[in-house]
């Protein structure tokens, strides 16, 4: 969190918000969906960050909405962050990334020379 903009969570769809059954949509991760809804209620921003495109993406967004989960952006940076940093990079900017394939790299000594 940078103190200038709200805390931003970028969340993957397949294997994270739902069981990975791509291109179908698997069972919902109801606990995560509820936590993201709560995050939005306290002012945090949630971005859907997925490789789905076209109709598969529309289906995913509609599926999330059917569970009461809406997004502040879909596969895009938040307008307020674009304005703040005066750039719109391909990588979605977030304070927290939730993805079933993510690995957090932490090096004991920092790993830098």
pLDDT tens track for 3-14: 567 999 999 999
Structure confidence at residue 113 (pLDDT): 59
Between the ranges 11-20, 84-93, 104-113, where is the mean pLDDT highest? 11-20
Instruction: Go through the domains of the chain in sequence order and give each one's CATH number.
Output: 8-98 (3.40.50.1000)
Q: pLDDT value at position 105?
A: 75
**Token digits for 55?**
């109709």
Closest CA to 93 of 15, 31, 5, 23: 5
The tens digit of pLDDT for each residue in 41-64 reads: 999 999 999 999 999 999 999 999
Which pLDDT band, with edges at 50, 70 and 90, does 73 fall under? very high
**What mean pLDDT is predicted for residues 18-42?**
98
What is the rounded (10 degree) CA torsion for 88, 106, 72, 2? Answer: -70
Per-residue pLDDT for 110 more than 70? no
For residue 107, the model assigns a pLDDT of 73
For the chain, percent of residues with pLDDT exceeding 90 = 70
- What is residue 103's predicted lDDT score, i.e. its pLDDT? 78
């Amino acid at each position: 969190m940078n103190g200038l903009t709200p805390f931003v969570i970028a969340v993957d769809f397949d294997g994270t918000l739902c069981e990975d059954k791509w291109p179908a949509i698997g069972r919902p991760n109801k606990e995560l969906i509820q936590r993201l809804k709560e995050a939005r209620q306290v002012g945090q921003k949630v971005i859907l960050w997925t490789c789905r495109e076209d109709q598969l993406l529309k289906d995913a967004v509609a599926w999330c909405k059917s569970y009461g989960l809406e997004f502040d952006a879909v596969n895009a940076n938040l307008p307020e962050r674009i304005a703040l940093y005066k750039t719109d990079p391909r990588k979605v900017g977030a304070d927290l990334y939730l993805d079933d394939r993510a690995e957090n790299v932490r090096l004991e000594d920092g790993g830098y020379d």
